[in-house]
Amino acid sequence: MSENSKTPADLLGCRFQVSPLSGDFVPIILGAIKGVNTEKIWGVTEMTSTVYRGRRVHVVDCVKAFFSNVVDGIIYVTLSAKFCKGDDDFEKDCVIAKDDVLLNDNQKSFDVIGRLSFYASEDSKKHSDAVIDLAVKKGIYTRTGYYASFFKGNVHDVFDFINDVLAYGEKIPHYVFDVTVSAFGEPKEGMIDYGD
């Protein structure tokens, strides 16, 4: 469903899953879904993941709200998200909000770690380097490794960075931005902690 026929440059889709390390993961996830105001986006939750489609600021707002609703300061939680631009079917299964007023109260603050990969349809290395520069400027970049770059910081800084990357991507015809964010994840035996 679309509120108007024009497709703005900041329209995108995101498929994601939130994985709480808990035996009660079903009510945790379903409760998190109910706690997100999705009035300004289109969304569907399937057996393995959730899809949100709409204007960039509202998609990011809703993904952040979903993740924040799951994080309780006790259990380990991971968000795996794939943001995409370039679909030809944006007029189907989509809500195009007319304003940037956010509907979710994302005030909860906590630290996260994570990794990212950015793949563009053209000049991929140039755009990937630009995304890393954005992480450096935001103060969350830690290092680059095989097939991914890594970050660490407050959830607000990380989602501001995600929004900045997606805004940057509006000038690119097609891209895929893979992000994994973990809350309360401390290195365990057998894991390498590269630190900052």
* Angstrom distance (rounded) from CA 32 to CA 64: 11
Per-residue pLDDT of the chain (196 residues; tens, 9 = 90+): 444 445 677 888 999 999 999 999 999 999 999 999 999 999 999 999 999 999 999 999 999 999 999 998 889 999 999 999 875 656 678 888 999 999 998 889 999 999 999 999 899 999 999 999 999 999 999 999 999 999 999 999 999 999 999 999 998 989 999 999 999 866 666 666 665 4
Please list, in sequence order, all residues whose beta carbon lies within 8 angstroms of the beta carbon of residue 120, skipping any fewer than 6 positions away. Answer: 127, 128, 169, 172, 174, 175
Q: Report how far apart, in Å, the C-alpha atoms of 94 and of each of 9, 35, 142, 159 are.
A: 14, 20, 35, 22
- Contact assessment for residue 20 and residue 2, using Cβ atoms and an 8 Å cutoff: no
Give the chain's domains with CATH numbers: 11-183 (3.30.70.930)
- Contact assessment for residue 96 and residue 4, using Cβ atoms and an 8 Å cutoff: yes
pTM over 0.85: yes
At 85 the pLDDT is 87
